[in-house]
Amino acid sequence: MAPEMATTEPHEGRGPMDLLRFATAGSVDDGKSTLIGRLLLDSKSIFEDQLEAVEATSASKGYDYTDLALLTDGLRSEREQGITIDVAYRYFATPTRKFIIADTPGHIQYTRNMVTGASTADLGLVLVDARQGLTEQSRRHAVLLSLLRVPHLVLAINKMDLVDYSEAIYEKIHSEFKSFATKLNVPDLEVIPISALQGDNVVTRSQNTPWYHGPTLMHHLEHVHVASDRDLVDARLPVQYVIRPKSDEFHDYRGYAGQVAGGIFKPGDEVIVLPSGMTSKIAGIDIFDKEIPEAFPPMSVTVRLEDDVDVSRGDMIARVKNAPTPSQDIDAMICWMTNEPLRPKQKLAIKHTTRSARALIKDIQYRLDINTLHRDQDTKELGLNEIGRVQLRTTAPLLCDPYAKNRTTGSFILIDEASGVTVGAGMIL
- The band of 8, judged by pLDDT with boundaries at 50, 70 and 90, is very low
Same domain, 163 and 277: no
Verify that 378 and 311 share a domain, yes or no: no
* One domain, residues 176 and 64: yes
| Sheet with 152-158, edge to edge strand ranges | 88-93, 98-103, 19-26, 123-129, 152-158, 188-193
Number of domains the chain is built from:
3
- Same domain? For 252 and 180 the reply is no
Predicted pLDDT of residue 206: 95
pLDDT at 14: 40
- Mean predicted lDDT score pLDDT of the chain: 88
Which residue among 263, 290, 319 closes a domain? 319
Per-residue pLDDT at 389: 97
What domain range is 243 assigned to? Answer: 236-319
In a domain, 9, yes or no: no
Is the pLDDT assigned to residue 341 strictly greater than 90?
yes
End-of-domain residue from the set 203, 228, 253: 228
Q: Are residues 246 and 366 in the same domain?
A: no
Cβ-proximal residues to 365 (8 Å cutoff; 6+ apart), any chain: 377, 388, 389, 390, 391
Looking at the fold, whether 272 and 396 belong to one and the same domain comes out as no
pLDDT of residue 80: 53
Residue 397 lies in a domain: yes
Query: What pLDDT does residue 28 have?
Result: 72
What is residue 67's predicted lDDT score, i.e. its pLDDT?
78
The residues, ordered by sequence, that sit 6+ positions from 311 with a Cβ below 8 Å of its Cβ are 239, 242, 256, 273, 305, 317
- Are 77 and 27 members of one domain? yes
The residue-averaged pLDDT of 279-308 equals 95
Q: Is residue 7 domain-resident?
A: no
Cα→Cα distances 408→98, 102, 259, Å: 21, 18, 10
Q: Is residue 413 part of a domain?
A: yes
Q: Is residue 1 part of a domain?
A: no
Least confident of 112-116, 274-278, 345-349, 373-377: 112-116
Residues 381-396 pLDDT 10s: 999 989 999 999 999 9
Confidence of residue 5 (pLDDT cuts 50, 70, 90): very low
Residues 336 and 404 in one domain: yes
**Residue 4 within any structural domain of the chain:** no
* Statement to judge: residues 398 and 263 lie in one domain: no
Percentage, residues of the chain above pLDDT 90 = 63
Q: What is the CATH number of the domain that holds 359?
A: 2.40.30.10
Q: Could you tell me if 290 and 362 lie in one domain?
A: no
State the pLDDT at residue 354.
95
CA distances from 97 to 17, 21, 371 (A): 9, 11, 35
Task: Read off the CATH number of the domain in which 167 is found.
Answer: 3.40.50.300
76 in any annotated domain? yes
pTM assigned to the model:
0.85
Residue that is last in its domain, among 266, 301, 319: 319
pLDDT band at 4 (very low <50, low <70, confident <90, very high): very low
Residue 6 lies in a domain: no
Residues 205 and 262 in one domain: no
pLDDT of residue 78: 47
Do 82 and 181 reside in the same domain of the chain? Answer: yes
pLDDT at 13: 37
